[in-house]
Amino acid sequence: MYKVFVNNTPIILSTKKTIEGYETISVKEVDFPMIIRDILQKESKNEEAKYHLYSKTEEKLLEHLYTKLPVVIAGGGKVYNANKQILFIRRNGKWDLPKGKAEKKEDMETAAIREVEEETGVKGLEITKFLYRTYHVFKRNGEFRLKVTYWFEMTTDYDGELIPQTNEGITKVKWKNKRKAKKALLDSYANIRQLFPYDYLS
């Protein structure tokens, strides 16, 4: 099962024929921009939209999804310092984790480290493990796009200045302990919250 977020509304992709309470549509046949517009319209009225996209096989779910919108591949980091604090950025009025578009022929680990460095000024990053892939829809130049972000857990001993990449709309970079991270996640995105264990969200 996968979740593609439109703002904080998840579109469910699965091999189940039906999910109770959700409108099920074949992922092969779906008019993806149409359901995105419907979700945004319902959100503006504080109404809930529940869509489930179905395919018989796991492989076909993503294969068909990637034909529905232009795909942007990105890499990002959930970064811990020596004090076990987590690195957050403030962008577009929300707390987020550093991430960005991979360059042509760039592997995902390299892209993730480069983007964290560029967006925060943090150096000496080491990847400890792959975490998760998140999927969300955004709009660029009037066109809906699908961002697929490969997230990695990272560590660093860096204790220098944090420098927000202001030309990317980043206004703050902060290390946050567990208490402050939990508070930040209340003012973040649903796809970011997927990267945190339950005790951060409760």
CATH number at residue 116: 3.90.79.10
Question: What's the pTM?
Answer: 0.92
pLDDT, residue 200, reads 79
Tens-digit pLDDT profile for the chain (202 aa)? 999 999 999 999 999 999 999 999 999 999 999 999 999 999 999 999 999 999 999 999 999 999 999 999 999 999 999 999 999 999 999 999 999 999 999 999 999 999 999 999 999 999 999 999 999 999 988 899 999 999 999 999 999 999 999 999 999 999 999 999 999 999 999 999 999 988 877 6
What domain count does the chain have?
2
pLDDT at residue 201, rounded to an integer: 78
Claim to verify: residue 173 and residue 140 sit in the same structural domain = yes
Same domain, 120 and 196: yes
Specify whether 26 is located in the same domain as 47. Answer: yes
Which pLDDT score, from 0 to 100, does residue 199 have?
80
Query: What mean pLDDT is reported for the chain?
Result: 95
Whether residue 177 sits in one domain with residue 103: yes
Same structural domain, 56 and 92: no
> Do 21 and 94 share a structural domain?
no
Domain boundary among 41, 65, 89: 65
Give the DSSP letter string of the chain: -EEEEETTEEEEEES-S--TTSEEEETTT--HHHHHHHHHHHHHTT----EEEE-SSHHHHHHHHTTTS-EEEEEEEEEE-TTS-EEEEEETTEEE--EEEPPTT--HHHHHHHHHHHHH-----EEEEEEEEEEEEEEETTEEEEEEEEEEEEE----S-----GGGTEEEEEEE-HHHHHHHHTTS-HHHHTTS-HHHH-
By residue range, what is the domain housing residue 139?
A: 71-201
Q: Are residues 99 and 50 part of one domain?
A: no
pLDDT tens digits, 74-121: 999 999 999 999 999 999 999 999 999 999 999 999 999 999 999 999
- 89 and 174 share a domain? yes
Same domain, residue pair 48 and 91: no
Are 108 and 145 within one domain? yes
